[in-house]
Structure 1
Amino acid sequence: MTGWVSFDAGSTLGGMGSQGGVIARDEDFAGHLRLTYEVDASRSFHAVSCSVTGWLLHHRFFDQEAQALAEFEAMKPALEALRAQLREGGPASTEEARRGGPLLAAFLARFS
């Protein structure tokens, strides 16, 4: 068990996502991490969005479902590791935000 569960008991599935696709997967980890997969087959559109509460919101776009879903899964352990190094809820000071910057940059460089 990885701790990832369906976000909001699955109520978002089938709805419109923030990137204009239909939400096909939407998962949460401990109320602080979220991964959402959106799809629009009519335009070969696949989006994966991730967030770390108070720290990061990042969107990725793909033209193939298999690649998008593989990256969705690959991002889970990386997000968990990132969260373990950051203060829950966001930085409490400018200095804390500066210390988090390289961690966030490394994640973004890996998952861009």
Structure 2
Amino acid sequence: MAWINFDGGSTIGHQGSECGIILLDEEHSDGARVTLERCVRVPFAITCGLYGSMAHTVFIGSEQEALDTFHAIKTNLDALIAI
């Protein structure tokens, strides 16, 4: 189970699904993705998904909380993939 930069990191600095600028964008080799954006309407947005199953976005108020949540979501997606 490996997390790598989505599309070789080419999405970093570009507009994301919540109209923010992508700061982190990682994909799991078994079919998941998580993206962190700095946004205009809210400070940060994290969108995650399991390919073909679900997608979810959470909005966060601080950078440290966003980074902590990003890593927690990856851990939780690892657990879902392992089922």
- Structure 1 residues without counterparts, runs of 5 or longer: 86-112
8 Å CA contact retained: 1:49, 1:57: yes
Indicate the residue corresponding to 2:22 in structure 1: 23
Whether the 8 Å contact between 2:36 and 2:47 is mirrored in structure 1 is yes
Unpaired segments of 5 or more residues in structure 2?
A: none
SS of residue matched to 2:48: strand
More helix, by proportion: 1
Q: Which has the higher contact order (CA 8 A, sep 6+)?
A: 2
Which runs of structure 1 show a deviation greater than 6 angstroms over 4 or more consecutive aligned residues?
none
Q: TM-score, normalised by structure 1?
A: 0.69
Query: Match of 2:14, SS?
Result: coil
- Check whether the contact 1:44–1:64 (CA below 8 A) recurs between aligned residues: no
The alignment of Structure 1 onto Structure 2 pairs a total of residues equal to 83
Shift of 1:76: 1.1
Task: Give the conservation status (yes or no) of the 8 Å contact 1:5–1:28.
Answer: yes
What is the TM-score of this pair, normalised by structure 2? 0.91
Larger radius of gyration: 1
